[in-house]
Structures are given as structure tokens and as C-alpha cells.
Amino acid sequence: MTDITAPITAVTVYADRALVTRKGKVTLEAGEHEVRVNNLPQFLRDSLRASGHGPQGTRILNVDITTAFYPQPPEEDLARIQTELDALQHQQKLLQARQEALNDRRQWLRALGEQSRDFARGLAQGQMKPQDCSDFFSFMSAQATQDAEAALQLQAQIQQVQSQIDARQREYYQRQGDEISSDRQAALITVELASAGELELEISYLVRNASWYPQYDIRVHIDGQQPRGTVELTYIGMVQQSTGENWDHIELALSTARPSQAAILPELQPWYLKEYNPPPPRPLAVPMAAPMSATAYGAHPTGMLRSRVAAPGGSFALEEDEIEPPAPAPVEAEIATATVERSGTALVFRVGRSVDIPSDNSPHKTTIARDDLPCEFDYVSAPALETNAHMRATVVNSTERILLDGQASIFLDAEYVGTTRLDFTAAREEFKIFLGIDDSLKIKREPIERAVDKGNLLQGDIRRSTYAYRISVHNYATAPRKVVIKDHIPVPQHERIKVRVQSITPQPAERTRLELLTWEQVLPANGEYTIEYRFVVEHPQGLRVVGLP
């Protein structure tokens, strides 16, 4: 049996696992050989694959897994960390000893200073000169100041060393936790060589406890007062792993494939409708109050699909911004990005440099791409909720890459705006981001009519309430603004409640079946825009209506 050293050379990370590739070389004689790759993680039997290159006629006959037993886990990293920890603890003890010696000297000086009354007695008796007292007190003052500064410096050094000790201890316990078992796997590969030569062996396997997720930096650049601009989008991959293996100097790839969902096609079940059978009534003889069922608190019975439906009459949210020659101007550093490959239905981002990902379960950042995307600006307001105008950028993903769900940090020119959640966006699809409030747009929504006709028996005893609202928008900016105003009209949810819209001026650009209204208007500098609408709510006198203003 021949042992071969095969370090990790490449890793492809998926959403919940990683494909690890190792490569190694060994020189063998002609014939059949068993090659062993040691120190592999657990649970590889179903995913281990092997391939190789060698002299003409080289064949891989078998690939198997065996367990390598160790009296204790491999401890190179633990030994290194323990050595560093011992050195830090020794340094801490030296500092503490210096601190104790300094405290003893300060106590001695304080005790000496308490004898100052003897100096006054000596002066009175002519046994001491005033200069002697002055020299003594100057010495005491200078020494006290020096000792106080030294005490502060020592305390700061002790705290710094303690922080380093805490960090090394956390790292030690983390690495110790990674070595879950003292037993490690080894791959046994049986190969046959037709002639002597060098065999280059490659093995790959899947491991859990590895993942990646996207993050974005979105920097919006406004070209003066133009309604269009550009968005500099930096696509970042955050990689973390706790597989027990450090990935040092590897070729890293990030894949959007989901191996766990690719092997099984979900099977659609029949959709049945049946008559509702009410449960039998509870026995009246039980004198205790029955506990409220779980479904009364919003829980769903087993087997039922959950859906979230917005109330038509409820509030709605915004959609989702000597004269020396001058020195040469500094050149912006280029950002190393990844190349993109399509593998079946998934995308693979290959980082164009070697990276290190330790097994510490901490996120490690790598840049996937950096693109300039076109965008258009408008200003959105729902004055029924608030009268602010929110600046919005509609961005086109003009790349061939998909944008996965992820957190995005937004900057408007050089100013940080905040964070948002970027939804899945296909290539050439639009997405919207909000960039803050524009105070140059003043928006007001006010009722201009409210009348109630209680009706009578001849009119069918119907109560009619008339409501009218006016929305006014004023653009105080020095450039035109495209304004989007959103409002709503009540929608009845009872057959005896009627809503009749009498007028809407001007007509909205969009009006949904649930009476959500959207107006769009480009306002010139110092321009105004007014919207008015009127509706009547009818219902029987005895019917109490919830939701009216």
C-alpha cells in the first residue's frame, strides 16, 4: 500500500454543502497498486469519486473507504494554538508581576509621604533646611506621576494580552470541536499501470457544514438633475464552512445549483373537494371551560397550505436609490472578480485567484462581479400613510447573471442610505430600490367633503355617506420630477355595503380591482399637481360599518 499526499486544490460551494477536490502525485512501478489518501472527513462513502492520469494503459479498478484509527485527533493546529496560548499566558504573568512590584513601590512612597510631619518638626528645630524639604517633595511628586503613568500602561498591556488569550482560547475550542471523532476516513484507490511512471490522482467528495450566500453593495450615481443615472453593483459571495478542513490556497467556485432538490421531482397529488361535516357538539354535562383550540390563535390544521392574503381595505406599503507640476491623479484599483460559467440550469462563479477559507464557521468575503447598470429615478408617495416622497431607482439587470436573494447596502453617491433585501432577479429583469426622502416635493392629502344622508323609509332606509379628498403635490426642486402617487378607495366586503365612485380627476394611470389607484406625472420645476376623487358609501341604517374614516 502506498500513501499519497493529496492537498485540497479546489472547492465548489453550494447553498448547503461543498464539493472538495484533492490532487496528488506518486511514482509507481508497472502492475496493480493500492493507493491511500489519509485524513479525510467522515461520511464520504456515497459521494467519493476518483480519477487520474498516468502512463498509457493506466486504469482505476476500485475506490473504497476505510477508517483510519488515531489515538487522538490530528493536532497540528491545536498544538500551534496551544503554544501561542502558553506564550501569551507567560507574558501576562510577567506583566502582572511588574504590576505587583509597582503597587508595592507606590505603597512605600505613600508611607514615606505620611512622615511629612517629621519634616515640619525638623525645620522648626533647625535640623533640616528648606531646600531639603523642597527636593524631597519634588522627588515624591515626580515619582508619583511616573508610577501612575506606568500603572496605566501596564493595565492597558494586561487587557490587550487578555484579549489575545480570549481569542486564542475561542479558536482552540472551535478547532477542538471540529475534531468530532478521533477516527478519520481514508480513501483506498486500486490502480493498474501498464508501465512504470507518475500517477496524478484526483479525488472529490461532498461535505456538509459549508455554504455561501450573496451580498450586494449598490452605489447609485446621479448625473446632475437628470432623470437617469447609473448603479454600480458589486456582487459579493459570503462563504463559511466548519467541515474540519482548512481550505488553503484553493481555487474557489460558487454555484447556484441545489443538489438536494435536483434528484427528486415533486409529485402532484389530487385536489379533493368534499362537504363540510361539522364536529359533534360537546357534551353539556362537562362543567369546565374548554381550552381554546390552536386554530383560534391562527394555527393551521395539519395538511393545509398556508397563504397570506392582504386585506383589501388595509394599508398598503410602497414598492419596493515655484509651482511644481501637479502629481498624477491616483488610479482607482481594479477589483478582482469571478468568471461566470453556465453548468446546465445553474451558474458557477469561479474566483480568479487562490483564496483561504478556514474551518471557523465565519463569513469570508469574495467579490463575484462589479457592474454598471442603467437606472431611472422617480418619487413615490402614499399620502394616506405619510406625505413624504421617497426617491426610487428602477434598475435593469443588464448582465447575463442572475441576482440571488440577498442583503444589499445602498449608497447614494458617497452617502450611506441603509440596507434592503434584494429579491431574486433574472438577467435583463428590473428591480427597484429606495434611496430616501426628497424634501423638495411637498405633498398634502386632505378631505374636502364629508356628508351623510340618513335616508328614510321611502328611500329604503339606506344611509349614504359622501367622501371627497384632494391630493396636492408641489415640486420645489430646480429640475423636473417624475412623481408617482398611490391612494385607495374602500372596497366592500359585505353584500349590503355598496361603494359608488362618483368622480376621479384626473384618471389614474392604474386602477386595480381592489381599488388601489396610481397616478404618474412629470412635474416641472416649481410645478403643481392636484388630484381629487369622490365616492359614496351606502348601507342600511342598522348595519354598523367598520373601516370608514
Residue 13, pLDDT > 60, answer: yes
Tell me which long-range contacts 39-43 makes (C-beta under 8 A, separation of at least 24): 39/68, 39/74, 39/184, 39/186, 40/184, 40/185, 40/186, 40/187, 40/205, 41/184, 41/185, 41/207, 41/243, 41/244, 41/245, 42/180, 42/181, 42/183, 42/184, 42/185, 43/208
The pLDDT, as a whole number, for residue 400 is: 85
* pLDDT tens per residue across span 444-461: 999 999 998 876 655 667
Average model confidence (pLDDT) across the chain? 80
- Contacts for 271 with CB less than 8 Å, ≥ 6 apart: none
Span 257-269, mean pLDDT?
65
Mean pLDDT score, 46-74 = 79
Percent with pLDDT over 70 in the chain: 77
Q: What pLDDT shows up at residue 132?
A: 62
| pLDDT on residue 406 | 92
Nearest-angstrom CA–CA distance, 51 and 35: 12
303: left (phi over 0), alpha (psi -120 to 50) or beta: left
C-alpha angle 24-18-176 in degrees, rounded to nearest 5: 80
Contact call for residues 447 and 436 (beta carbons, < 8 A):
no
- pLDDT higher than 80, residue 272: no
In the three-class reduction of DSSP (H, G, I as helix; E, B as strand; rest coil), residue 7 is classed as coil
pLDDT band at 120 (very low <50, low <70, confident <90, very high): low
Q: What is the pLDDT of residue 223?
A: 76
Residue 79: per-residue pLDDT = 79
Region 190-200: mean pLDDT is 90
**Mean predicted confidence (pLDDT) in 48-70:** 84
Lowest average pLDDT, out of 93-102, 135-144, 157-166, goes to: 135-144
Rounded to an integer, the average pLDDT of 407-416 is 90
Specify the pLDDT at position 146.
Answer: 82
Higher pLDDT, 53 or 304: 53
* pLDDT for 183: 59
Give tens-digit pLDDT for 288-318: 444 443 333 333 333 333 333 333 333 334 4
What are the cell numbers at 477?
Answer: 426642486
Q: What pLDDT is attached to residue 305?
A: 30
